[in-house]
Amino acid sequence: MKLSQLLIPLSDKQPGKIRDAGLIRLVQGGFAVYNAKSDEILLLPFGTLALRRSLGKLLALFAKTGVQPTACFGAGPFSIADRFVRVFGEVARAFLEEREGNLVFTGYGETFAEAQTFVRALGEAVREEPVFADLGCRVLEERRDDAWRLSLAVPAQKEARESAPGICCSACGWGGLPESVAPEGDAFSAKSAPGHGELPLKEAHTPGASTIAELCRQLDVSPSRTLKTMCYSTGMGESLRVAAALVRGDMAISLEKLRRALNASEIRRSTPEDLARCITGVAGYLGPIGLGEAVTLVADSRVVGACDLVVGANKPDFHLTGACWGRDFSAPLVVDLVRFEKDSPCPLCGEPLSEANWRVLGHFDVPASPSETALTFRDQAGTHAFPFVWTGCVFGISLLSALAEQGGDKWPEGYAPFDAWIVPVLPEDNETAERLLQELAQQGLAPLLDDRECDAEKKMADARLAGVPALYLVDTTTSGKHLLTDA
Ligand SMILES: [Zn+2]
């Protein structure tokens, strides 16, 4: 293809009103224009070609994992699924189609776990693909009220559109969202829980130690050896319920996870009045031992098996040392309760987490219960059942913005609008340049001939702006044609 045939408004000027670094590059590289009034991104030929090729690469990747590419033209894949999803284990049951520049997924799982396993495999396939590994792609998992969500995300600046504040571990690379499901890992497991259970339960005088930091200073222990006990209320008046959440002292409590564990529609920190109606303890000195029957104890799963912990004594200025799960206290409700924050321990390696920002490339939702659709299938026992219908979407513009932001001057091969940019230095080089164009096309590449009437310097600068992977400089009068891989 020849550049003069395409509408490519390249510009090295900083476009106004855009702060997303990826989007800025797309505009500068002539891929897109941005309409600030409507906050719309309109793709030009470069952007359209890059989108087509990038989605094509992903489509091929997903097809390898068993997702069926389809084109349903607005009807959605239900009509296809209705014909073929009859007996599980026999036919394909995940479908994708390109819709308005995105890849849209619908899948049918026999059980929640089976649908989750399938979606996790999709996430892993993308994360392991070298191009996405280079972008720093992570798979983030979170639980929502009625679904489980897996997001594909890459690190981005705060200004990125579709960005989500999160956390990451610079030591092991783990990434998450504040409410992410805590993965099982050594640093979080009961095995690594502090203490051995040899110490007796003992009262310690801790005047003014109403914070974990002051408590640790006074008793000379690390926060991971303390237990945080915080009370939360649901309901009002007669229906008031108080729950005490127990997490390790170096971790934060997720209100969302607690709310879901209590099956409540709203939750709030208990007021002194709430506490006065249920317990004798004092905020800052609360602990799970002897808190009273009126309070529901909810423990984070990392607390199970922990020993020799420092816990509040439920009276002002006193704590108990040597407290052990099972021997001295336990909880009827054990769930994942951790909220990930800056400086929380990494769930995989235990190193302090740092703040991060993620550009979400797409996400998949698996519903918590079967979807009562018109479609039923026969399960292994031969009975008719409703499937777990999961859905997903990979956002085309996010994908292009991520590739543009992190691909730098060079997009990954096969994702850029063109594989090669040919620059004839002088008009007399045009014939050789045309031949090179044909040669490269015959090799199966997508080359672009820069046939504009401007100097070679400008052409090379524009090629860099567009991020085309290979740059050919054709100069027949001196030394022939050059491949400048590092433009
Ligand atoms: Zn880590």
Sign of the C-alpha dihedral, residues 337, 343, 349, 350? negative
- Report how far ligand 1's centroid is from the alpha carbon of 431 (Å): 57
CA 29 – ligand 1 centroid, Å: 37
Residue 71 Cα to chain centre, angstroms = 27
Would you tell me which CATH number, out of the four given (3.40.50.970, 3.40.50.800, 1.10.3260.10, 3.40.50.150), belongs to the domain 420-484? 3.40.50.800
Residue 486: the pLDDT is: 43
User: Separation of 178 CA from ligand 1 center, angstroms?
Assistant: 15
What fold does the segment set 188-339 form as a domain? Answer: YbaK protein (3.90.960)
How far is ligand 1, taken at its centre, from the CA of residue 299, in Å?
23
Spacing, Cα 138 to ligand 1 middle (Å): 13
Could you tell me the distance, in angstroms and rounded to a whole number, from the CA of residue 343 to the centre of ligand 1? Answer: 11
**The pLDDT value given to residue 325:** 92
pLDDT score of 189: 55
Structure tokens at 5: 């045939």
CATH 3.30.930.10 assigned to 3-180+353-406: yes
Handedness of CA 114, 116, 122, 126 (dihedral sign): negative
DSSP string, 459-486: HHHHHHHHT-SEEEEEETTTTEEEEES-
Chain CA centroid to CA 469, Å: 28
pTM: predicted TM-score of the whole model, two decimal places:
0.85
Q: How far is the CA of 353 from the centre of ligand 1 (A)?
A: 7
Token digits for 475? 């100069």
How far apart are the CA of 260 and the centre of ligand 1, in A? 27
Other CB atoms within a 10 A radius of the CB of residue 244 amount to 25
What dihedral angle (degrees, nearest 10) is formed by the CA atoms of 199, 203, 206, 207?
180
The rounded Å distance from CA 348 to ligand 1 centre is 5
What is the 143 CA–ligand 1 centroid distance (Å)? Answer: 21
CA of residue 151 to ligand 1 center, whole Å:
19
Per-residue pLDDT of the chain (487 residues; tens, 9 = 90+): 888 888 888 777 777 778 888 999 899 888 999 888 888 899 999 999 999 999 999 999 999 999 988 888 777 777 777 777 666 665 558 999 999 999 999 998 888 998 999 999 999 999 999 999 999 999 999 988 889 999 999 999 888 888 899 999 999 989 999 999 888 765 555 545 556 667 889 999 999 988 999 999 999 999 989 999 999 999 888 888 999 999 999 999 999 999 999 999 999 999 988 888 887 767 778 999 988 888 999 999 989 888 899 999 998 999 999 999 999 999 999 999 999 999 999 988 889 999 999 999 999 999 999 887 777 777 777 788 888 899 999 999 999 999 998 766 788 888 999 999 999 988 888 888 999 999 999 999 999 999 988 888 888 888 888 888 899 988 877 655 555 544 4
Domain boundaries, the chain: 3-180+353-406, 188-339, 420-484
Alpha helices (H) in 293-448, listed in sequence order: 396-406, 430-442
CA 352 / ligand 1 centre spacing (Å) = 8
